[in-house]
Amino acid sequence: MISIRVCLSLIFLAFCSHSFSEIDEISGNVLKIRSHDLSLNTDGDWVQIDNVSDAGACRKVAGRTIFSFKGDERGSRHLSILLSAKMAGKAVTIGYDDVGLNDYYCVIRYVDI
């Protein structure tokens, strides 16, 4: 018979494993960068990476996955890096979170170029 302590430990571990999101990665060239104002009822700046059509629970537009910038200084830095990569024709790697969704957009956690 399993003790109560073991049962509680298993429940706690199961809960914790779903509480913290895992950061996944995609790589490719920047296809599109879009910036919205708040009149479109979205917190809105996002990017699409070429040849990325599926990334977990992330929202898609025109069959391509959307990756959202945070509306803070870090998000501005991510936007600058991705714009530079697009202008230079360089591939990027994006670390994203499909658990901490922002209006069903995956949230960018880091960018490598």
The CATH number covering residue 47 comes to 2.40.50.50
Does a structural domain hold residue 83? Answer: yes
Q: pTM for the whole thing?
A: 0.72
For residue 26, give Cα distances in angstroms to 7, 37, 58: 37, 27, 12
**What is the number of domains present in the chain?**
1
CA distance linking residue 110 with residue 98, whole number of Å: 13
Does a structural domain hold residue 81? Answer: yes
State the DSSP string of the chain.
Answer: ---HHHHHHHHHHHHHHHHSPPPEEEEEEEEEEE---GGGSS---EEEETT----TT--EETTEE-EEPPSSHHHHHHHHHHHHHHHHT-EEEEEEEEEEEETTEEEEEEEE-
Which one is predicted more confidently, 35 or 110? 110
Does a structural domain hold residue 89? Answer: yes
Determine what percent of the chain is predicted with pLDDT higher than 70: 71
Q: Are 26 and 93 in contact (CB under 8 A)?
A: yes
Does a structural domain hold residue 91? Answer: yes
Mean pLDDT of 31-49: 78
Does a structural domain hold residue 86? Answer: yes
pLDDT mean across residues, the chain: 79
Sign of the alpha-carbon torsion through 50, 53, 59, 63? positive
Supply the pLDDT for residue 38.
Answer: 67
Supply the pLDDT for residue 17.
Answer: 42
Determine what percent of the chain is predicted with pLDDT higher than 90: 35
Does a structural domain hold residue 97? Answer: yes
Does a structural domain hold residue 40? Answer: yes
Does a structural domain hold residue 7? Answer: no
Domain ranges, residue 88: 22-112
**53-95 residue pLDDT tens:** 888 888 888 888 889 888 889 989 999 999 999 999 999 999 9
